[in-house]
Chain A
Amino acid sequence: MSKKLNLRERYQRMTRDLAWEPTYQSKKDIYPQMDFEGIKIHDWDKWEDPFRLTMDSYWKYQAEKEKKLYSIIDAFAQNNGHLNVTDARYINALKLFLTGVSPLEYAAHRGFAMVGRQFAGVGTQVACQMQSIDELRHVQTQVHTISHYNKYFNGFHDFRHMHDRVWYLSVPKSFFDDAMSAGPFEFITAISFSFEYVLTNLLFMPFMSGAAYNGDMATVTFGFSAQSDESRHMTLGLEVIKFMVEQDPDNIPIVQGWIDKWFWRGYRLLTLVGMMMDYMLPKRVMSWREAWEIYFEQNGGALFEDLERYGLRMPKYWEQTIEGKDHISHQAWSIFYNYTHAAAFHTWIPEDEELDWLSSKYPDTFDKYYRPRYEHWREQAEAGNRFYNPTLPMLCQTCQIPMGFTEPGDPTTIGFRQSDFEDNRYHFCSDGCKDIFDNEPQKYCQAWMPVHQIYQGNCGGATVPEVLDWYHLKFGIDNFDYADSPDRKNWQAWKGLGDEAGADQEGEAAA
């Protein structure tokens, strides 16, 4: 390339000029999925790339990121970096992230390859191609991190298998499957806009800062390296929205409907992140409530003010998230504390100092609704009555989270909605989830619900050990409280912390 080309010209030559007008086949046959969602595109040339990144620069900068990343991961492994995390308890946050989120990176890789093939404009195709490659890079870097931690800690050994089977992993899995089984315009609205632009900061920024604060360099490194691609993905999401609504006013209500749906889906999914931030980090950076205020209320608020000129408004039910920010992380941790005997990570009751932190971060709700509950459970556990819920929970048909969220305006009553479709009745945790079902019942009635599947006899048997075996989880090793776990026993031995003798050199994790 000539040095004299400026950014715009280079982008024009290296991206837009790659397209051609087909002559042997009609565009309709080449791009068969362009019409069925009802989105009308009149001129793909109106697509404005916010980042004028060409493939040659893309490879150059990505290679630089990779070089940095792998040298840190190498150094981390060589120096036994896992021993420098604040506490082995922290690793449980990582277990949830790496088994829950990493497979989504792979799903995103597939998803963007699929929609990149379907969009009829070359700018969009190239942006999707880059994102597809980014996502593949992300899952690879995360598998390297899994590989390191798997040598020393339990629960990482079969993340792919687990992702398709374990009850709580169906929450992230079904989120992405829902997007991938939609059309290309809905997929890109769901993932690029609602998830990447509006919500992904809540996943990566506070959580990765938390990892840094807790001495986990491997996670910080893959996290921020992935996030550096994310700013490209986010701007793609914003461009997609502007492009669709500018192309035809008929697109506005369709796009608004998708924003409503995917905001709510993403909000429910991020409950798991809220729980990680408030309960699973030994050293905490900020509360879920604070993160929601910064990244959704402030940043999302500015975004939707900006989008008003296009006829778009804040996502439906956003007001409920403002009330929910004081509750959802506590409700989710309570669910996992009840069901940790069936999970691939450990739980615990927060220490007094942590309860005090939660009281100070949640002055309106924690002491009133949640602290007494934890103190009661702790008392019971100390008296030898650690409570594990023996009954499988009712799940929301849409988000697949156990029905433990409370009613707006009434934090002592569990939220409950239902819809009848054909000959069955379906249950929901909220108006948001019910609306999503009611809009496409024939889609959501087919959801693979982990609890239903267990009761139907499709998950290895009727007892917890049989189901765990089918999940490929090791009963007594991967599950139950952190206090009694082999992970803790090993950690105490490695760090020379007192009475715990007899841990293996490589831990008991060599599953």
Chain B
Amino acid sequence: MAEAKNMVYLALQNNEDARGIIEAIEEDNPHAEINHFPAMVKIDAKGKLVVNKATVEEKIGREWDPQEIHVSLISLSGNVVEEDDSFAVVRDN
């Protein structure tokens, strides 16, 4: 069995819409590992990955609703925690 312990991930399209989101994730989740695939960016981390509304807005220079992530999200792993100002996947065992 490969290393499994409480890994989570977010996979996003590799396009203009998602770029700000990816940069925000990178900034707010220093423990995350960013993996590039053709047309797709997969971000892996232990325990938790959070996307903060404020950071994304700073990157893209406009208001951003965390539910907009639906347009760019390809896949995820973890328990989803959806709030007004953030979107996260968590696995806390």
Q: B72 interface residue, CB < 8 Å from A?
A: yes
Q: B3 interface residue, CB < 8 Å from A?
A: yes
Known: A208-B40, A209-B40, A306-B93. A228 touches B72 (CB 8 A): yes
Q: B25 interface residue, CB < 8 Å from A?
A: no
Nearest neighbor of A230 in chain B, beta-carbon distance:
B75
Q: How large is the interface on A (under 10, 10 to 19, 20 to 34, 35 or more residues)?
A: 35 or more
Q: A285 interface residue, CB < 8 Å from B?
A: yes
One of B2, B72, B74 near A297 (C-beta < 8 A): B2
One of B3, B8, B68, B75 near A204 (C-beta < 8 A): B75
Q: Are B5 and A305 in contact (CB under 8 A)?
A: yes
Q: Are A220 and B6 in contact (CB under 8 A)?
A: no
Q: Are B75 and A303 in contact (CB under 8 A)?
A: no
Q: Are A208 and B2 in contact (CB under 8 A)?
A: no
Q: B73 interface residue, CB < 8 Å from A?
A: yes
Q: How large is the interface on B (under 10, 10 to 19, 20 to 34, 35 or more residues)?
A: 20 to 34
Q: Which of B69-89 contact A (CB under 8 A)?
A: 70-77, 79-80, 82-84
Rounded to whole Å, the gap between the CB of A400 and the closest CB of chain B is 28
One of B70, B72, B75, B91 near A205 (C-beta < 8 A): B75
Query: How far is it, in angstroms, between the C-alpha of A302 and the C-alpha of B79 when the chains are bound?
Result: 11
Query: How far is it, in angstroms, between the C-alpha of A224 and the C-alpha of B37 when the chains are bound?
Result: 13
Query: How far is it, in angstroms, between the C-alpha of A288 and the C-alpha of B7 when the chains are bound?
Result: 21
Query: How many A-B Cβ pairs are below 8 Å?
Result: 103
Nearest neighbor of A197 in chain B, beta-carbon distance:
B77
**Contact mask A308-333 → B, CB, 8 Å, 1/0?**
11000000000000100000000000
Query: How far is it, in angstroms, between the C-alpha of A210 and the C-alpha of B42 when the chains are bound?
Result: 15
Q: Are B84 and A6 in contact (CB under 8 A)?
A: yes
**Contact mask B1-36 → A, CB, 8 Å, 1/0?**
111111111010100000000000000000000000
Q: A238 interface residue, CB < 8 Å from B?
A: yes
Rounded to whole Å, the gap between the CB of B56 and the closest CB of chain A is 16
Q: Which residues of A lie under 8 Å from residue B5 when comparing CB positions?
A: 302, 305
Q: Are B1 and A301 in contact (CB under 8 A)?
A: yes
Query: How far is it, in angstroms, between the C-alpha of A64 and the C-alpha of B72 when the chains are bound?
Result: 10
**Contact mask A213-235 → B, CB, 8 Å, 1/0?**
10000001000100110111011
Rounded to whole Å, the gap between the CB of A352 and the closest CB of chain B is 24
Q: Which residues of B lie under 8 Å from residue A231 when comparing CB positions?
A: 70, 73-76
Q: Are B6 and A205 in contact (CB under 8 A)?
A: no
Q: Which residues of B lie under 8 Å from residue A227 when comparing CB positions?
A: 74-75
Nearest neighbor of A314 in chain B, beta-carbon distance:
B1
Q: Are B7 and A298 in contact (CB under 8 A)?
A: yes
Please name 17 further chain A to chain B contacts, defined as beta carbons within 8 Å, in addition to the given A68-B71, A231-B76, A301-B2, sorted by A numbering: A61-B71, A65-B70, A205-B11, A208-B40, A209-B39, A210-B38, A228-B71, A228-B73, A297-B4, A298-B3, A299-B9, A299-B77, A301-B4, A302-B4, A303-B77, A305-B4, A309-B93
23 contacts between A and B (CB under 8 A): A7-B83, A51-B82, A61-B67, A61-B70, A61-B71, A65-B71, A205-B37, A205-B74, A209-B40, A224-B13, A224-B39, A224-B74, A228-B74, A231-B73, A231-B75, A238-B79, A301-B2, A302-B8, A302-B77, A305-B6, A305-B93, A306-B91, A306-B93
By a beta-carbon cutoff of 8 Å, the part of chain A in contact with chain B is: 6-7, 50-53, 57, 61, 64-65, 68, 201, 204-205, 208-210, 212-213, 220, 224, 227-228, 230-232, 234-235, 238, 285, 293, 297-299, 301-303, 305-306, 308-309, 322
The 8 closest A-B pairs by CB, nearest first: A301-B4, A212-B39, A50-B80, A212-B38, A213-B38, A297-B2, A302-B4, A209-B38
